Amino acid sequence: MNILHYIQKYKNHPEFEQSKNWFIGPWYSWPNAVNEVQGMIQFTPETSSIWGGPFPDHHAMFVLLDETKRNFRSFELAKKDAREKLLGYISAKTERKGEFVEMLERLEAGDSDVVHDVEECGTAEFPFRIWMMGNDDTSYSKWFRTRKEAEQLLELLEANQPLNFYKDFLPFGWTFTN
Q: Do 14 and 53 sit in the same domain of this protein?
A: yes
Q: Do 137 and 61 sit in the same domain of this protein?
A: yes
> What is the amino acid identity at position 56?
P
The answer on pLDDT for 28 being more than 70 is no
pLDDT grade for 3, boundaries at 50, 70 and 90? confident
Q: Do 25 and 62 sit in the same domain of this protein?
A: yes
Distance between CA atoms of 39 and 77, rounded to whole angstroms? 33
Q: Do 23 and 65 sit in the same domain of this protein?
A: yes
Q: Which residue has the higher pLDDT, 116 or 168?
A: 168
Which residue segment(s) compose the domain that 50 sits in?
A: 3-69+127-176
Q: Do 55 and 90 sit in the same domain of this protein?
A: no
Q: Do 81 and 138 sit in the same domain of this protein?
A: no
Average pLDDT of the chain to the nearest whole number:
86
pTM (predicted TM-score): 0.84
CA atoms within 13 A on the CB side of 94: 0
Q: Do 10 and 63 sit in the same domain of this protein?
A: yes
The answer on pLDDT for 29 being more than 60 is no
The answer on pLDDT for 25 being more than 60 is no
Q: What is the pLDDT of residues 53-110, one digit of tens each?
A: 668 889 998 989 888 887 688 999 999 999 999 999 999 977 889 999 999 999 999 8
User: What size, in residues, is the chain?
Assistant: 178
Q: What is the pLDDT of residues 33-48, one digit of tens each?
A: 667 778 899 999 999 9
- Count of structural domains within the chain: 2
Please count the other Cβ atoms lying within 10 Å of the Cβ belonging to residue 105: 12
Percent of the chain with pLDDT over 70: 88
Q: Do 46 and 131 sit in the same domain of this protein?
A: yes
Q: Do 8 and 48 sit in the same domain of this protein?
A: yes
In whole angstroms, how far apart are CA 27 and each of 5, 73, 79, 101?
A: 15, 25, 30, 37
Q: What is the reported pLDDT for 93?
A: 76
Q: Do 36 and 108 sit in the same domain of this protein?
A: no
Q: Do 114 and 155 sit in the same domain of this protein?
A: no
Comparing 137-141, 161-165, 171-175, the range with the smallest average pLDDT is: 137-141
